[in-house]
Amino acid sequence: MPARPAAPLVPQPAVDDIPDFVSLPERIARNAAATPDKIAVECDGVAVSWRAFDADVNRIARRLADLGLGRGDKVAILAENSIAALATFMGALRACVCVVPLSTMAAADALEKMLDDCDARLLFVSDRYRALVEPYETRLPKLLEGGRIAYDFTRPGWIGFESWRAVASDAPFVAPIEPLDDFNIIYSSGTTGLPKGILHSHMLRAQLPVRFANWGYGPDTISLASTPLYSNTTLVSVLATIGGGGTTILMRRFDVEQFLKIAEARRVTHAMLVPVQYQRLLAYPGFDGYDLSSFQAKLSTSAPLRAHIKADCLKRWPGRLIEIYGLTEGGGSCTLEADLYPHKLHTVGKPGAGVELKVLDEAGNELPQGEVGELVGRAPLMMKGYYKQDAKTRELFWHDRDGRLFFKSGDMGRIDEDGFVVLLDRKKDMIISGGFNVYAADIEVMLLGHPDIVDVAVIGIPSDQWGESAHALCVRRAGAATDAEAIKSWANERLGKTQRLAGVEFRDSLPRSTIGKIMKRELREPYWAGRGAKI
């Protein structure tokens, strides 16, 4: 097994300070021993028991070890959600191999850069996304010979997954895993260029089953995962379910009606969803006809869940509603138990256990409670750093007077008088009009109060007079006939002078990533193209 890597740039706990560490691969083995016949994972109506899942994880781990892979090595996965992809992920971890789940939203040239950057030795691909690999599949020199594995297609130069793993024994396989060994690299959002590879440890991931137990995750959990496995949003819930010995139901892709049918038929108890999914589910005409009484908790992350959607969810969907705010990198994180704090639905809650948040001005000075600035945070466990990008990692750092390390979030917000965090905008999305900071989130909340607006994004567009002006891109309620000038006038009567809209446009929909984030860069681009300015 390769030697341990050098100490990470971001300080980590000492191994001796983690006496109760249990890795996710070890938890899988324990689950298989305790409840061998219970369903571990299912997808498209196919169910696999804990006994069978553990055996599959052993096969994959042994196959990787036979290839000489172990600590310090990487394998990449570019695939839709499936039992095979999840087993590959867990099998690699059992072999102490770091997993790189690749975004299916990335462009082919960006994926080629990621595969080179992460030093992947094997690449697992599903048919749905092989077109993203074919342009460069023969120029991946870091892959082992025979290192291209096809889940569900046949193509020269690729080895079928079933035959690849079939040659390995399913006898118990154990590789020594230490708390600070590499678990995964998750590349930050990006469709072009080279995003940053966020490196997590086994220790950080092993905390998920412990933390999520507070929200009912455990042996009786039936969790429905409807966002991609490459997303940290999906992984935190899936890993908590696996670690707790529950059942994970994978959807290959999200569909409102199918989600509701599965949730009712399988008596789903937990789901991690992104805001646009809540919006679509609650807007579905048949939503109230489904029996969702089995739900214990619904979680939301990746982007702020708007207050009116939280309120609607509390009224119509049984079980707790928990919003989680935080960076994939770790550091500052908050949780809002919406059912316990219905008067704080405009916030993302309070800092989690062991988390400390501060607010900074533009010069990096700490601001008093209630003031608006950039949020920075620290936690007992944070990422190890951006893989092979120390300079980018250091750009994230802020140290307080005592020299303690905080991560900059890039988010603008404030901490209210009760300690709840109010998010406003990404720092890069903030509109500076006439020298004043304008927060799109404030305008968006106001516009959503109009009965004919169901979705909105406010962006900054060029202005010869003010530098930037706010511009609203709105989605109208079906059947609404309100014109853009009427919406603009209605809004500007309610907005402060510096916030007023320069214009309103209607769109059939807003562009979103696969985990539901509005792609504001894409919305801004036509307005700023050729000006050499903000995009």
Half-sphere exposure of residue 323: CA atoms within 13 angstroms, side-chain side: 31
Look at strands 197-201 and 74-78 and give their pairing.
unpaired
Fill in the amino acid letter for 32. A
Encoded tokens for 163: 């035959």
Per-residue DSSP letter, 432:
E
pLDDT at 436: 84
pTM (predicted TM-score): 0.89
Identify the pLDDT of residue 454.
93
Strands 421-426 and 431-433: unpaired
Task: Show the tokens assigned to 413.
Answer: 């917000």
**Under 8 Å between Cβ of 149 and 159:** yes
Cα separation of the two ends of the chain: 45
What pLDDT, on a 0 to 100 scale, did the predictor assign at position 514?
A: 73
Is residue 91 a contact partner of residue 58, using CB atoms and an 8 Å limit?
yes
Per-position pLDDT tens, the chain of length 535: 555 556 788 999 888 778 889 999 999 999 999 999 999 999 999 999 999 999 999 999 999 999 999 999 999 999 999 999 999 999 999 999 999 999 998 889 989 999 999 999 999 999 999 999 999 999 999 999 999 999 999 999 999 999 999 999 999 999 999 999 999 999 986 544 578 999 999 999 999 999 999 999 999 999 999 999 999 999 999 999 999 999 999 999 999 999 999 999 999 999 999 998 999 999 999 999 999 999 999 999 988 898 999 999 999 999 999 999 999 999 889 999 999 999 999 999 999 989 999 999 999 999 999 999 999 999 998 999 999 999 999 999 999 999 999 999 999 999 999 999 999 888 888 898 888 889 898 899 999 999 999 999 999 999 988 889 999 999 999 999 899 999 999 999 999 888 999 999 999 999 988 777 889 989 999 998 876 556 6
> Domains along the chain?
24-34+45-203 (3.40.50.12780), 325-425 (2.30.38.10), 430-528 (3.30.300.30)
CB-based contacts of 289, cutoff 8 Å, min separation 6: none
Judged on CB neighbours under 10 Å (0-12, 13-18, 19+), 422 is middle
